[in-house]
Amino acid sequence: MLQQGKDLLTEHGYHGTGLKKILDTVKVPKGSFYNYFESKEQFASEIIEQYGRDLTKKLNDFIEQSRDNPLDTLRNIYLRMVADIEKNGPKGCLVGNLAAEIGASSELCQKSMLNAFVSWKTPFTTLISDAQTKGLIRDDLGAEVLFDLLWETWQGALLKVKIDGKTEHLIQTVDVMLYHLFLPLTSGENKRI
């Protein structure tokens, strides 16, 4: 039920997904729905929590299995997300979309979005910090600062795809961040792209 709900909310947004559409899709009568969830808001909040946990698990599994250096592993995570977007269309990130629409109005969903964000922070900052130790990423800024920037830039890039429809910019944005702006200060030269 949460997976179908996630697809609806990602594609149509919070207000664009009426309760009737949810009930029709998950094939559950209204009464039963309210046995599971107090409200549509609580339903959305649980979907966000589940999405946060799923993505964190995927990230950890991917990192554990990677045989590349931490910088390339980081890039490969984004490459995989880009491939998913090219396959399924630029629907955006559930958390980014709902933050834009109801982040400022639903305290419950806001809390779940923050939980998701925090849970993604650890695998990413561990990778960045590891890349800094290996001299692959500049270390004049903390791993958390760089992760925040990368998350923000990625979310903005997802928005831009929705405006110009060009998914090819996504990996260009990530590459400019990782292989230009994040380069150690001493290396000077551009290495990629």
User: For binding to a second copy (CB under 8 A), which residues are involved?
Assistant: 11-16, 89-92, 95-97, 99-105, 110, 113-114, 117, 140-141, 145, 148-149, 151-157, 159-160, 162-165, 169, 173, 176-177, 180-182, 185-186, 188, 190
The residue type at 53: R
Least distance in angstroms from the C-beta of 32 to a second copy:
25
The residue type at 85: I
Shorter beta-carbon distance to a second copy: residue 25 or 66: 25
Question: Side-chain half-sphere of 96: how many Cα atoms within 13 Å?
Answer: 16
Cα three-residue angle 78-116-77, rounded to 5 degrees: 15
Cα three-residue angle 58-64-65, rounded to 5 degrees: 90
User: What three-state secondary structure class fits 28?
Assistant: coil
Shorter beta-carbon distance to a second copy: residue 97 or 127: 97
Helix axes 168-176, 143-164, angle to 10 degrees: 160
Shorter beta-carbon distance to a second copy: residue 124 or 182: 182
Q: Assess contact for 71 and 132: CB atoms under 8 A.
A: no
Shorter beta-carbon distance to a second copy: residue 127 or 173: 173
Least distance in angstroms from the C-beta of 161 to a second copy:
8
